[in-house]
């Protein structure tokens, strides 16, 4: 008999979280005997609006809630439920309480510090009303899967059943060798969504200074366009079909982050994607970025005021770019690829469904329980 799994993400496959945390794993999981049903809270139309492609039809939220309740009512038909972040955002934890009372084993999975929208909210009332929502989900979960050490440390405050599973990429979608680009233009690649565009915008003065006296440009994939104040930026509309091609045409990937608790919970997917394309990366040394990027080995760290200097090093030294880019790709192959992590996720889900989750442990990128 297959192990039937109900996956309850916030968004559908248009959102990176659903694609990278779940749907890319499904073909392998099917081979391992898992029968997966993905039931997002937001429907496709609403998700498109959230991603910046349309106007939000607020009345659709009622339909989304009704569908989520229906999914929850039918949860007993499954052997395992996987909850991404929470069942319904900014709703009192009534549905989470129902899930707990159903007695179906569930995995609580999260890859950003979404819980700070409650525990660090500016309104004391919001902090008080939602103070137990996420901690209770974590306490009662058969297994908590966190995308980074920062997130795992948070989950470990409420449960011993915690595993780290980074957000990973499918290497079959990425070039098997470096792509050679136009040597006359130095391209700085950033990939993200409209909601994270401000992270790129924050270092525009430094990028403008770098590009001012060099044949260089910024390639912004998926960003919400803004006035770059003279910085040469090529805006690229994101699509799943073209993202790897566009990243492969860059010379270096960047991931700036602000020094905030929310940013500390980011899992570095932008970096992993660029590294999968054999590109060195420059990253703010915040959160998971510090583990993904080994300074001087797979890329460089850059704090505020240091971006021009870091990019200058890579611009001037082609051998350094190639050496760091090759090391970056090897690191992804060994520690941040679907090919490495799919068997581990299958094992974790099997343990969670059987009630045999690892206790007082965390699964490291190398796969050892520590």
Q: Where are the domains of the chain?
A: 3-168+338-354, 171-335
Residue 132 pLDDT: 93
The pTM score is 0.91
In three-state secondary structure terms, 149 is: helix
Cα–Cα dist 165/124, whole Å: 33
Copy the structure tokens of residue 200: 């790129």
Cα–Cα dist 263/113, whole Å: 8
Cα–Cα dist 167/184, whole Å: 34
Burial 27-41 (b: 16+ CB within 10 A, else e): ebbeebebebebbbb
Pick one of 3.10.420.10, 3.40.50.2020, 3.40.50.2000, 3.40.50.1700 as the CATH number of 171-335: 3.40.50.2000
For residue 166, CA distances in Å to 8, 21, 32, 205, 277 come to 19, 9, 20, 32, 18
Residue 137 pLDDT: 95
In the sheet where 106-110 sits, what is the strand order? 34-38, 3-8, 80-84, 106-110, 143-146, 162-164
Cβ(320)–Cβ(283) below 8 Å: no
Residue 28 pLDDT: 96
- Each residue's pLDDT, cut to its tens digit, for the chain (370 residues) gives 899 999 999 988 888 889 999 999 999 999 999 999 999 998 777 777 766 655 666 667 888 899 999 999 999 999 999 999 999 988 888 999 999 999 999 999 999 999 999 999 999 999 999 999 999 999 999 999 999 999 999 999 999 999 999 999 999 999 999 998 888 899 999 999 888 999 999 999 999 999 999 999 999 999 999 999 999 999 999 999 999 999 999 999 999 999 999 999 999 999 999 999 999 999 999 999 999 999 999 999 999 999 999 999 999 999 999 999 999 999 999 999 999 999 999 999 999 999 766 554 444 444 433 3
Residues 216, 284, 309: CA angle, nearest 5 degrees: 45
Looking up tokens 């993905």 gives 38
In three-state secondary structure terms, 240 is: coil
Copy the structure tokens of residue 174: 């990425």
What do you get for the CA distance between the two ends of the chain, in Å? Answer: 32
User: What is the sign of the dihedral through the CA atoms of 324, 325, 331 and 334?
Assistant: negative
Copy the structure tokens of residue 317: 């030294």
Residue 182 pLDDT: 82
Cα–Cα dist 280/252, whole Å: 5
**CATH architecture for residues 3-168+338-354:** 3-Layer(aba) Sandwich (3.40)
Domain 3-168+338-354 and domain 171-335 have a common topology: yes
């Amino acid at each position: 008999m297959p192990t039937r799994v109900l996956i309850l993400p916030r968004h559908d496959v248009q959102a990176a979280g659903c694609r990278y945390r779940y749907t890319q794993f499904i073909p392998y999981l099917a081979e391992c005997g898992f029968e997966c049903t993905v039931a997002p809270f937001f429907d496709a139309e609403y998700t498109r609006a959230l991603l910046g492609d349309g106007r939000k039809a607020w009345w659709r939220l009622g339909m989304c809630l009704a569908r989520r309740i229906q999914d929850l009512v039918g949860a007993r038909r499954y052997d395992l439920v996987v909850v991404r972040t929470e069942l319904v955002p900014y709703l009192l934890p009534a549905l989470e309480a129902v899930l707990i009372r159903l007695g179906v084993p569930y995995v609580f999975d999260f890859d950003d510090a979404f819980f700070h929208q409650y525990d660090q909210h500016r309104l004391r009332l919001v902090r008080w009303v939602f103070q137990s929502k996420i901690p209770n989900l974590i306490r009662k979960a058969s297994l908590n899967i966190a995308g980074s050490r920062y997130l795992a440390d948070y989950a470990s405050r409420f449960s011993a059943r915690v595993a780290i599973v980074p957000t990973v990429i499918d290497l079959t979608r990425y070039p098997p060798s470096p792509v050679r680009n136009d040597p006359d233009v130095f391209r700085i690649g950033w990939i993200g969504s409209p909601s994270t565009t401000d992270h790129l915008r924050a270092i525009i003065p430094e990028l403008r200074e770098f590009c001012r006296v060099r044949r260089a440009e910024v390639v912004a994939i998926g960003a919400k366009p803004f006035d770059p104040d003279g910085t040469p930026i090529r805006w690229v509309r994101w699509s799943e079909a073209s993202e790897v091609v566009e990243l492969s045409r860059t010379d270096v990937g960047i991931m700036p982050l602000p020094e905030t608790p929310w940013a500390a919970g980011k899992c570095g997917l932008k970096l992993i994607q660029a590294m999968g394309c054999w590109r060195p990366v420059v990253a703010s040394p915040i959160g998971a970025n510090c583990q993904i990027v080994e300074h001087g080995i797979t890329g460089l760290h850059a704090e505020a005021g240091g971006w021009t200097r870091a990019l200058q090093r890579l611009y001037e030294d082609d051998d350094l770019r190639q050496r760091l880019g090759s090391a970056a790709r090897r690191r992804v192959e060994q520690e941040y690829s679907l090919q490495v992590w799919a068997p581990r996720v299958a094992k974790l889900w099997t343990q969670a469904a059987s009630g045999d989750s690892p206790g007082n442990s965390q699964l490291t990128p190398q796969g050892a329980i520590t």
